[in-house]
Amino acid sequence: MNMYIRSYISLIILSLTTILYWSSCCPSAFAQQTTTLGAPVTAVAILTKDDQGHKLKYPSSVFCDHKTGEIYVVSSGNAKVVIYSADYFPETSIGKGRGIDAPEGVYVDKNGNIYIAQGPTAKHPAEITVLNAALFPVKQIRFTGFKDAKMFVPVHIIQDRNGNFYVAGINSLGIVVLDKNGKFLRKLIPQEHIAPAPASEGMAGFLSHKRSYQQKSHISKDSGKVVPVHVTDVTTDDRGRLFLLSEGTSKIYVYTPQEDFLYSFGQKGGTMGKTSRPRGIAIDNGTDRVYVCDYMRHTILAYTLGGKFIFEFGGKGWSVGWFNYPTSVAVDPHGNVIVADLFNQRVQILKIGKIPANRIIKKSEQ
């Protein structure tokens, strides 16, 4: 019995120590403001209900239309997309009546057309359902022309300056590139070249890339091996550069608008500045920041466009700026960060405060 009592007392002491530590360095757990490494975070709005007054159920993806300021939220548990006005009022929702029954992600083009990535159901295969600005379905884009096309499930969509679509999803390597009409063009597949190294030194590696769906031939163990990468999310900056996020490698792969590889950044891990299971990426062109949400660490990390880590905020919790398995991130026209807070059943819109002078990144470091 004494052994159990001692264990219980030790557990209490450890819990109290943890609470004191987090309350001293992360007061957001006990207040409406989160103090991060580098910048304070405050709530602009918390979205919890749809246009019918029902609670959001497992919001898994968010998108902001910068032309209108509207926010699109995939409410997975309700199998619909909820549209909020720029002042966070739930205007309407898109569901089964519009052919939307398995939404995964949303994109809105400059003409107001809405592209909804959908998973497979008994009624249809995985597809992108296109609706016009009046919310009427006008087209279905289905996937053919590449290996694993029948298994591919689209999740995130963006469009480049030429009108081509870049689609990230599951069950297929890399990213799918479609023309403006939805016809398959090619795949862009980042690859990690892992060089052999002594166990004590870990695995060092460098990156290559390619634009076809065929995998490179196997490289001998003596020279290392090339590992094709699954892409989880994709976004673009105001220069047209492509940023491809891989949950598997915890890296962001950056390409020119012509799909020439530039560089990669990010590191897998469970400590500050690293990601364990990154699920979403967004860029704030106003501040030249890249935001990445880490599903397992319950955090949002901020980097420069060049890949230098700046700060992070979050942790597992329910107060403002804390999360319970975040899955998607977006940025609105004001620079507010929008986070799909999956198991807290809400979407947080957060304002990032001014970074102290000693944390400001020079242009040469970006």
| pLDDT per position as a tens digit, 204-246 | 333 444 444 333 322 334 446 889 999 999 999 999 999 999 9
Q: CA 41, 45, 48, 54: dihedral to nearest 10 degrees? A: 180
User: Is 35 inside a domain boundary?
Assistant: no
**Predicted confidence (pLDDT) at residue 146 exceeds the cutoff of 70:** yes
**Res 340: pLDDT:** 98
**Predicted confidence (pLDDT) at residue 16 exceeds the cutoff of 80:** no
User: Is 6 inside a domain boundary?
Assistant: no
Helix (H) and strand (E) counts for the chain? Answer: 1, 27
* Matching residue, tokens 């967004």: 282
Mean pLDDT confidence for 137-147:
96
Q: Give the residues across from 192 on adjacent strands.
A: 207, 227
User: Is 28 inside a domain boundary?
Assistant: no
The first and second tokens of residue 320, run together, are 């403002």
Task: Please tell me the distance from the alpha carbon of residue 282 to that of residue 336, in angstroms, as a whole number.
Answer: 11
**Res 195: pLDDT:** 62
User: Is 115 inside a domain boundary?
Assistant: yes
User: Is 32 inside a domain boundary?
Assistant: no
Number of structural domains (the chain) is 1
Q: How far is CA 2 from CA 6, 12, 16, 180, 366, in A?
A: 6, 15, 21, 71, 57
* Matching residue, tokens 């602009």: 44
Poorest-confidence range of 18-32, 98-112, 178-192? 18-32
User: Is 7 inside a domain boundary?
Assistant: no
pLDDT in tens, 267-324: 999 999 999 999 999 999 999 999 999 999 999 999 999 999 999 999 999 999 999 9
Mean pLDDT confidence for 24-49:
64
The first and second tokens of residue 350, run together, are 């957060």
**Predicted confidence (pLDDT) at residue 28 exceeds the cutoff of 60:** no
The first and second tokens of residue 155, run together, are 């999740």
Task: Please tell me the distance from the alpha carbon of residue 201 to that of residue 181, in angstroms, as a whole number.
Answer: 49
User: Is 34 inside a domain boundary?
Assistant: no
CATH code of residue 307: 2.120.10.30
User: Is 85 inside a domain boundary?
Assistant: yes
Task: Please tell me the distance from the alpha carbon of residue 318 to that of residue 155, in angstroms, as a whole number.
Answer: 26
Question: What domain range includes position 50?
Answer: 44-365
Q: What is the rounded average pLDDT for all residues in the chain?
A: 85
- In the chain, pLDDT over 90 holds for what percent of residues? 76
Task: Please tell me the distance from the alpha carbon of residue 56 to that of residue 75, in angstroms, as a whole number.
Answer: 6
Long-range Cβ pairs for the range 114-118 (8 Å, 24+): 114/72, 115/141, 115/157, 115/165, 116/81, 117/153, 117/154, 117/155, 117/156, 117/157, 117/167, 117/169, 118/154
**Predicted confidence (pLDDT) at residue 13 exceeds the cutoff of 50:** no
Q: In what order do the strands lie in the sheet with 59-64?
A: 59-64, 71-75, 80-84, 90-94
Phi, psi of 212 (to 5 degrees): -115, 170
Question: H helices of the chain, where?
Answer: 2-25
Looking at residue 78, the DSSP 8-state letter turns out to be G
Distance of CA 166 to the CA centre of its chain: 15
Confidence class for position 201, pLDDT limits 50, 70, 90: very low
**Res 354: pLDDT:** 82
Longest Cα–Cα distance of the chain, Å, equals 72
